Structure 1
Amino acid sequence: MRRARFARVMCAPVLVGVLALMGCQKSPGASGSLNDTSASKSPSGYGLVFLGVDECASRGRGSTEVPCTSEKAQAQVIARYDGRQSEGPACPAYTDFVLHISESRPAYDEDGDGAVPKGYACMRNLESPHPGDPGGGGGPRTIVGDCVYTAGKGEVRETACDGSGENKPEFKVRSAVQNRDKCPKSTELYVQLGGSKPVGCAVPA
């Protein structure tokens, strides 16, 4: 058996529009932003917190909060945190993409102080596809069941396990452990995952 290598997950390239692919929790994933203009022109009104848990948002340029019953609703908030994503809690494992909320001063806000604080919302698409699912090839986190391909020395990127992505899967993360020595002997690649079990044990896909 070949000696297992260690690799960290690289950030994915940026896509056009406000929903850009950027690194999250040391893994590639979709993210986006609600800039000051879109937030101020589209006050919440649907809950006590702007884009609070279980609320919905449209997608694309000018993405904003909309009623979940609206035909414009594309994704639902499954977790919401204030502050910078790099300094806050990780999104749930099955998050499809992340909306970054810029600080703004809209006509309506949750506590009446005239401001919506900077934060981020972990989003789950209302309908398929779900890139955050195991093997889906996306989402802000790499999790057990995901596949990766070699993107450089000591670095990998996530890709769809079914081969539908631009790059074919080379390794699949079979388990997550606290330390490398907890991985099974069949492991050929250690993938940096983060969280309480930061080491992914991967085998050829």
Structure 2
Amino acid sequence: MVCALLLASAVLCGCQRWQSASDSGDSTPGAGATPTRPSGYGAVFLGVDECSSFGTTSFTEVPCTSERAAARVIARYDGKVADGPSCPATTDFVLHISQTAPASDEDGDGAVPQGYACMRKLEPPHPGDPGGGGGPRTIVGDCVYSAGSGQVRETACDGTGRKPPEYKVTSAVSARSKCPASTALYVQLGGGKPVGCARPV
């Protein structure tokens, strides 16, 4: 995840991979984005609570009881990621679903609409957990390191990532002025508490 590096005296900037994020998990659906309700295997392609296998070039939907099942859909939205709501805070990764016209689909019209599925791996490690070093969102508990040119990248807080952590997001607040005095980095998280307060580690 590439994020803007901000010192306490700098202007607040964004820290995101593809969309604003919130530590609270609150999100408001954007225009054209509608959450898909739980459906059971096969009724909707990668619907909520369905599972996918891991592949080298693609992911396939499989029953969650299958030995090939690797991750579960925890939220599913139609449309583009940029236009829709954020995935839950502890999402491990996002699957982007391209619009296709397969031989069979969920409603028989010959098409699977464009959308995205928020995925949670069935087994640890979970990069979307606080301090896990990955996931599509920066949340409270995550760590970052300087990547140069005013940018930072997320890394595991326990030091097992490719780079050691330099800052840790310790709280989320509604405005920069509400961050503690020890704050050395501000991170835009989005949601109701859009400012992440980070301190050196």
TM score, norm. by length of structure 2? 0.81
Q: Which residue of 2 aligns with 1:175?
A: 171
Q: Structure 2: any 5+ residue segments left out of the alignment?
A: 1-6, 22-39
Task: Identify the match of residue 187 of structure 1 among 146, 171, 183.
Answer: 183
Does the 8 Å CA contact 1:93/1:141 hold for their aligned counterparts?
yes
Q: How does 1:16-31 map to 2 (within 5 A)?
A: 23-26=17-20
* C-alpha displacement of 1:92: 0.3
The amino acid across from 1:65 in the alignment is: E
Structure 1: gaps of 5 or more residues: 11-22, 28-44
Q: Contact (CA 8 Å) 2:54, 2:60: kept in 1 or not?
A: yes
The answer to whether the aligner puts 1:102 opposite 2:98 as a matched pair is: yes
CA contact (8 A) 2:8 2:186 kept: no
Give the alignment's Cα RMSD to 1 decimal. 2.0
2:48 match: 53
The equivalent of 2:28 in structure 1 is none
Identify the range of structure 1 (71-80 vs 154-163) with the bigger mean alpha-carbon deviation: 154-163
Deviations 1:18-72 (A, max 9, x none): xxxxx32258xxxxxxxxxxxxxxxxx9232110000000112231100001111
In structure 2, the partner of 1:69 is 65
Q: How many residues align?
A: 176
Letter in 1 for 2:54: R
% identical equivalent positions: 70
CA displacement at 1:193 relative to structure 2:
1.6
**Partner of 1:181: helix, strand, or coil?**
helix
Cα deviation for residue 154 of structure 1 reads 2.9
Q: Distance in 2 between matches of 1:185 and 1:114?
A: 57
Which residue in 2 is equivalent to 1:9? 15
Post-superposition shift, 1:194?
A: 2.0
> In the aligned structure 2, how far is the partner of 1:143 from the partner of 1:59?
25
**Aligned counterparts of 1:64 and 1:126: Cα–Cα separation in 2:** 15
Offset at residue 195 of structure 1 (A): 2.2
* Regions of 4+ moved over 4 Å: 2-7
